[in-house]
Structure 1
Amino acid sequence: NSHIIIFRKIKMILTALIPQITVVFPIFTSADPSATRHEKEKHFLAADGKEESFPNLMDPPSLELSVVVPSYNEELRLPVMMDEAMEYLEKRQKENPSFTYEVIVVDDGSKDKTTEVAMKYTKKYGAQKVRVLTLVKNRGKGGAVRMGTLSCRGRLILMADADGATKFADIENVEEGLESIDEKPDNMAISCGSRAHLEKVSVAQRSLFRTFLMYGFHFLVWFFCVRGIKDTQCGFKLFTREAALKTFSSLHVERWAFDVELLFIAQCFEIPVVEVAVNWTEIEGSKLVPFWSWLQMGRDLVLIRLRYLTGAWRLESERKTQ
């Protein structure tokens, strides 16, 4: 096929260029974003308005599950997602009192009332179950997920989008995926929700240009970073606490392509990763601008690979997280 020939030619060109690029690339590489928190980001407000400190991911877990919800200008969509999630979690706890959980809503420097909306759930359910982490400035989705994850108390950590595109009850699917992994080195494993089974339908509904962008992105993911995972971008991923600490400690990318780097890091550390189908519905109000966001992600994918190849970025078992 013609597209296979084109891909092979691109691969040959890039393979030839990489040795030359690696010589000069570190000069043009900016420092990775800091995982150090602003003083205001070290605390959350309890239901009574009292300020309390977040724990550290390096601490032992004290709950079964933490749910991290990155949110940027989500005052309208967040309540729908939170209502569904809290209904499920409360029902599950009622049926099994030993099941304990928390939801951490991370307001990624929103300009609307996202924090105020999220705080209503803290007041309703208490700060032991719902906490709000308000970032001083916008970091991007990856930065918000990382800051939330570093604040978790759970044995398992789920990242879930604020738009509620994935049916929350499908957490059981990713839990089963995690349980299906027999060998978990140092108790590390990741289960990724996937929309790959919906691809044929989505292609039929997309324009030719958007379909081209999608396949181009998939190729770049496969060529530069991650193989064996069909859908790297689904915002519904479950980590063991140990896997979260290992991967998020080395994460550099803070915007849309962070999922790819996260899985790249996991594969470098030989952390088992499984992919399981989840129910997904496109929700209006996406912050993703098709052309420019895909262009930015494509650029980030190339930079991820090159920065690791040149040694500008390194995998680290531990980085400063406070």
Structure 2
Amino acid sequence: MPPSPSRDEGTSRPPLLEIVIPAHNEERRLPGGLLQLCAKLARLPFPTAVIVVDNASTDRTADIVRDWPRGPVPVRLIRCPVPGKGAAVRAGLLGTSAPFAGFVDADMATDLDALDVAFGQLLSGERVVIGSRAHRDSHVENRHSRIRELGAFGFRALAGALVRGVSDTQCGFKFFDGVLAREVAARLRTPGFAFDVELLARCVREGSAVVEIPVRWHDMPGSRFSPARHTFGIVLELGRIWLRLRARPRAAAPPSWEAPLDPVGSP
């Protein structure tokens, strides 16, 4: 592999790949996650960049990004005042301009070695490449409770009816052709946990197959998902997604929860 680009080279050329990190009150996990991601990207033989979306945080998440030291991988901040991972990912993808774009979770639960495989698939012509914990070659460390596992099984069954042939819609490791990512993000209307289902379903609607790749995934502490608090809302979100996908396509307009004059939320 060619040597890593110098600081000047890495920051003067436009990125070929931009990666979004949605972050809500991630002051404890974000520094380590950013360090891992930037170290991985700095070893790649092409320019990259990272966008951290501060999703209505009330802690020092935004300060961490603003104070991040300059290096071969530029890191910039976007603000998304609307709570919800879907809203944050939408804002982040709309803030990209690179030929390829994607997003990962702040905890880096998915081993970043999968980036090499994902980017190779994109270069070969695939337009949607996602990590799948259900892939037969994946290695998954799972410490979830029995109740959460049952909830996940039910969710997969419902999601499978909307995105057929995809075994894991929720792994926080997804990469796209940049143009497709921005087109689909503009139509995304699900601000919460189930946004991945709508995002993938709209990609399929655009004629793009979803390629699932194996990952090494580690169950990280600090997850905010609670079956008791979130299950009912997620079922409602899936129902709304089903209705939206059945509706006649219309010109993209900002969702009702987004300020129309500031769709990305500049830092």
The TM tier, using the shorter chain, reads 0.7 to 0.9
Q: Residues of 2 paired with 1:206 and 1:72: CA distance?
A: 21
Whether the 8 Å contact between 2:188 and 2:198 is mirrored in structure 1 is: yes
Select the structure of larger CA radius of gyration. 1
Q: Cα–Cα, structure 1 residues 222 and 199, in superposed 2: closer, same or farther, change >3 Å?
A: farther
User: For residues 141 and 59 of structure 2, what CA distance do their matches in structure 1 show?
Assistant: 34
Deviations 1:58-97 (A, max 9, x none): xxx94201010000000000011111111111222xxx3x
Q: What amino acid maps onto 1:302 in structure 2? A: G
Amino acid at match of 1:175: F
Instruction: Return the match for 1:194 from 123, 129, 132.
Output: 132
Task: Give the equivalent residue in structure 2 for 1:242.
Answer: 179
2:138 aligned with 1:231, yes or no?
A: no
1:260 corresponds to: 197
Aligned with 1:143 (options 79, 87, 97): 87
Counterparts of 2:170 and 2:181 in 1: how far apart (Å)?
A: 17
**1:180 Cα deviation after fit:** 4.7
Matched, 1:80 2:18: no
Match of residue 6 from structure 2: none
In 2, distance between residues paired with 1:199 and 1:169? 14
SS in 2 for 1:174: helix
Task: Specify the alignment match of 2:101 in structure 1.
Answer: 157
| Corresponding residue number in structure 2 for 1:100 | 47
What's the secondary structure of 1:237's corresponding residue? strand
Question: What TM-score, normalized by structure 2, do the two folds share?
Answer: 0.82
Q: How many percent of aligned residue pairs carry the same amino acid? A: 32
Choose between structure 1 and 2: higher helix proportion: 1
Q: Secondary structure at the match of 2:17?
A: strand
Confirm or deny: 8 A CA contact 1:105 1:132 kept in the other structure.
yes
Cross-structure match for 1:118:
65
1:169 positional shift: 2.8
Q: Is the 8 A contact 1:249 1:316 kept in 2?
A: no
- Secondary structure of the 2:200 match is helix
Paired residue secondary structure (1:132): strand
For the Cα contact (< 8 Å) 2:185–2:199, is it kept in 1? yes
Alpha carbons of structure 1 residues 301 and 74: separation in structure 2 relative to 1, 3 Å: same
Aligned partner of residue 181 in structure 2, secondary structure:
helix
Three-state SS of the structure 1 residue aligned to 2:208 is coil
The alpha-carbon distance between structure 1 residues 240 and 74, as it changes in their structure 2 partners (threshold 3 A), is same
Normalised to the residue count of structure 1, the TM-score between the two structures is 0.69
Q: Secondary structure, in 3 states, of the residue corresponding to 2:99?
A: strand
Q: In the TM superposition, what is the alpha-carbon distance from 1:155 to its structure 2 partner?
A: 1.1
- Classify 1:286/1:208 alpha carbon distance in 2 versus 1 (closer, same or farther; 3 Å): closer
User: What is the alpha-carbon distance in structure 1 between the residues aligned to residue 138 and residue 173 of structure 2?
Assistant: 20
Greater shift, 259-268 or 209-218, is seen at: 209-218
1:55 is matched with which residue? none
1:297-308 mapped onto 2 (5 Å cutoff): 297-308=234-245
- Counterpart code for 2:234: M
Structure 2: 5+ residue stretches without partners: 1-12, 255-262
Pair 220,199 (structure 1): closer, same or farther in 2 beyond 3 Å: farther
The alignment covers a number of residue pairs equal to 244
Distance 1:192 1:138 in 2: 25
Distance change (3 Å), C-alpha of 1:84 and 1:268: same
Letter of the 2:42 counterpart:
E
Equivalent residue number for residue 119 of structure 2: 175
Residue aligning to 2:260: none
**1:208 to partner: Cα distance:** 3.9
